[in-house]
Amino acid sequence: MKKTLEQVGKYVNLMKKTFSLPDNWRMFWRQLPLEMEKLGINTVGIIVLISIFMGVIMTMQTIMNTENPMLPRYSTGLVLRDTLLLEFSSSIMSLLLAGKVGSNIASEIGTMRVTEQIDALDIMGVNSANYLILPKIIGLMLCMPMLVTFSVFCGLAGGCGVAIFTDMITISDFIYGIQYAFIPYYFTYSIIKSFFFGFVIASVSAFYGYFAYGGAIDVGKASTNAVVNSSILLLAVNVILTQLLLV
């Protein structure tokens, strides 16, 4: 318990240093688009691929497990749409990004720590937390809504593929299900969650990388801890946001 409280205190102090005004705004605005490209745009490919396949799988599973004459055929599109909006494209996709993006952030900052680059910045009077971490947090938070939107549309496209290339469901039934009883707030809810999830992934991963003292083994441990703990926090934050925004 004591160790956990110490970790929380170190995290809070690090975030205080991170969210101070940048010493050099020019460097911040130069670094921000680079971080957005590295953490967000470069992950679009895997997001699109996973979302399409998950859309196909969820559509097929829904059709095969709801073969009940009492259920309308268009319910497949409705189930896929709401599943993507409410959970998959924001929550599940964020867990996948915690593995890819989170480990990248932790290993990058951890390597800078063990090679004493962060110590050099501190000696020069630079706020190393603000300089290294703030562009990553802001960049990922700005990219997350875009990634969630891509995921939703690609998942729906995968479901459309099942309707077009198989006889499991007609395209008219599937499209009608997507449009039926649509609640726009579900998309807003998903976007709101994505901002919080982006903050959790970037800040927790940066925290473990920033305090990765030692050598190469410690960088690996920091990367593992970043993925595990950010994933746990994502699930906890998801429960809290669902309670606040939906219930």
pLDDT at position 109: 93
The one-digit pLDDT tens for each residue of the chain (247 residues) are 777 888 889 999 999 999 988 888 888 999 999 999 999 889 999 999 999 999 999 999 888 887 766 678 888 889 999 999 998 988 888 998 998 999 999 999 999 999 889 989 889 888 999 999 999 999 999 999 999 999 999 999 999 999 999 888 889 989 999 998 889 999 999 999 999 999 999 999 999 999 988 888 888 899 999 999 999 999 999 999 999 988 7
Kindly write down the DSSP assignment for every residue of 13-63, as one continuous string: HHHHHHTSPPS-HHHHHHHHHHHHHHHTGGGHHHHHHHHHHHHHHHHHHHH
Is the separation of the CB atoms in 111 and 214 below 8 Å? Answer: no
Range 120-133 burial, b when 16+ CB lie within 10 A, else e: ebeeeebbbbbbbb
pLDDT at position 159: 93
Q: Say how far apart CA 150 and CA 69 lie, in whole Å.
A: 34
Q: What is the pTM for the complete model shown? A: 0.91
pLDDT at position 206: 94
- Tell me whether residue 9 is in a domain: no
- Tell me whether residue 17 is in a domain: no
Quote the domain boundaries for residue 125.
26-245
- Tell me whether residue 60 is in a domain: yes
The total number of structural domains in the chain stands at: 1
- Tell me whether residue 11 is in a domain: no
Range 46-72 burial, b when 16+ CB lie within 10 A, else e: ebbebbbebbbebbbebbeeeeeeeee
- Tell me whether residue 133 is in a domain: yes
